[in-house]
Amino acid sequence: MCYERRMEPRIIPRTEHSISRRQISDNALRTLYRLRDSGFIAYLVGGCVRDLLMGRKPKDFDIATNATPAEIRHLFRNCRLVGRRFRLAHLYFKDEILEVSTFRRQALPDESGDEAEPDRSHPPAAHVKNEDGMILRDNIFGTPEEDALRRDFTINALAYNIADFSVIDHSTGLEDLQARLIRPIGDPEVRFTEDPVRMLRAVRFAASHDFTIEPATWDIICRLSPTITRVSPARLYDEMQKLFMLGFARPTLRMLDQSGFLAPLFPFLVGWLSQGGDRATLLEENLAAFDNLIGSETQPMPSLMLAVLFGPMLDESAQVHAREDGMSYRMALELSCDLLIEEIAASINIPRRITSRMRHVLVLQIALTAMPPRRPATVPKRPGFDEAMAYLRIVAATDEAKCAALNWWESYLRDPQSVVAAPEPSQKKRRRRRRRPRTTPKTVVE
């Protein structure tokens, strides 16, 4: 069950932990020092502290302070305040965006407003829940301890204090980190109702860090997973990228299926996987190959992730439409893409430019797998060609015909003269038929 609250915070001095300032970005260090030198408390918080203690490179560095958003903006010229639900300061540097938040606390019953807020004569409530208990706004400032104890999981409630370089643990984060256990702070059912995204975060941490979710918490996640549809579509798209774009898409998909999230998020995909065969194995192998691209010189785009996640299903659907409706495979594929995009839009707000590029990647497979190709010199100029080639490399591992097409294209791209393309269609010059001049009949004068 949830952790037992510690009476006094556990403070680990610099000599007893592994975090070094050399591991922290220069921008984050400068921000921490400026807040400290201006008389404010300044901590590194959240996942970056967890990852530093595990010897992993953090994806980003989050900072918490007792400075208010207005005071942060006054200190930093590169600051922009964002967010209505959760007021934050974003500091913009040349190569990094830092998120700086003010310490917050849980709201008391008399501090919460309702969703409608009908009394416009008073300022909006700092803490607002809707009728389902989900938090819509949370801007009540508090102490460092209160801020730690309102976070989602104990392993994310650790802080690094720039004042003395110590690590502060207000819960059981260090013990749970050592045990590789994901344990929520507070009542899991209440915390997941307040923000259903916390359940997705538990699944993501378990998949990406090879952690175990506390058994009682896992049962609650499985029961409440359908409530994920209450989250705004734009926020779910952000979470979708974190789930599949960090190098752990394969174990993440498996955990999403086991916990019940896959059905409300991607019902088409669940229906396709339920048909059995080697579909699940094929999809997992493709996702594993996609995971290997993360961290490479050319970071894959979300459109390639969507193509890998839905491509085999869309290919099979297009073949069925082409056979049963008597249309070309290309028309059937575009129809399948349209149906999928329409279905996903009901729960996840994927930008149109991303779905359009996914379509280009999949449609371009028709030209890439036609052997021998006609006019190959024109194909690399089409939109999405690089991603289409990356997709072909992924699916070729399980398809001999596509493997042959991949070998041809890689040889052609290295040396266009080394391979032979299909002959160009005959372009005989047609003789233009000369028209006879029109003759005007003579007028007979009587």
Question: What residues are annotated to the active site?
Answer: 60, 62, 152
- How far is it, in rounded angstroms, from Cα 343 to Cα 266? 8
71 burial level (CB within 10 Å; 0-12, 13-18, 19+): middle
Kindly give, in sequence order, each residue whose CB lies less than 8 Å from that of residue 320, ignoring residues fewer than 6 positions away: 332
Asked if residues 320 and 275 have their Cβ atoms less than 8 Å apart, the reply is no
Cα–Cα distances in Å, from 31 out to 28, 47, 51, 121?
5, 18, 20, 38
φ, ψ dihedrals at 167, nearest 5°: -110, 130
Asked if residues 145 and 9 have their Cβ atoms less than 8 Å apart, the reply is yes
Taken as a whole, the chain contains a residue count of 446
Q: Which one, of 36, 326, 60, 307, lies nearest residue 164 by Cα?
A: 36
How is residue 36 written in tokens?
Answer: 């400290």
Tell me the HSE value of 349 on the side-chain side, using a 13 A CA sphere: 7
- Using alpha carbons only, give the angle 252, 254, 256 rounded to the nearest 5 degrees: 70
Kindly give, in sequence order, each residue whose CB lies less than 8 Å from that of residue 306, ignoring residues fewer than 6 positions away: 350, 354, 355, 358
Asked if residues 409 and 415 have their Cβ atoms less than 8 Å apart, the reply is no
* 194 sits in which H/E element: helix 188-194
How is residue 183 written in tokens?
Answer: 């344990």
- How far is it, in rounded angstroms, from Cα 49 to Cα 212? 19
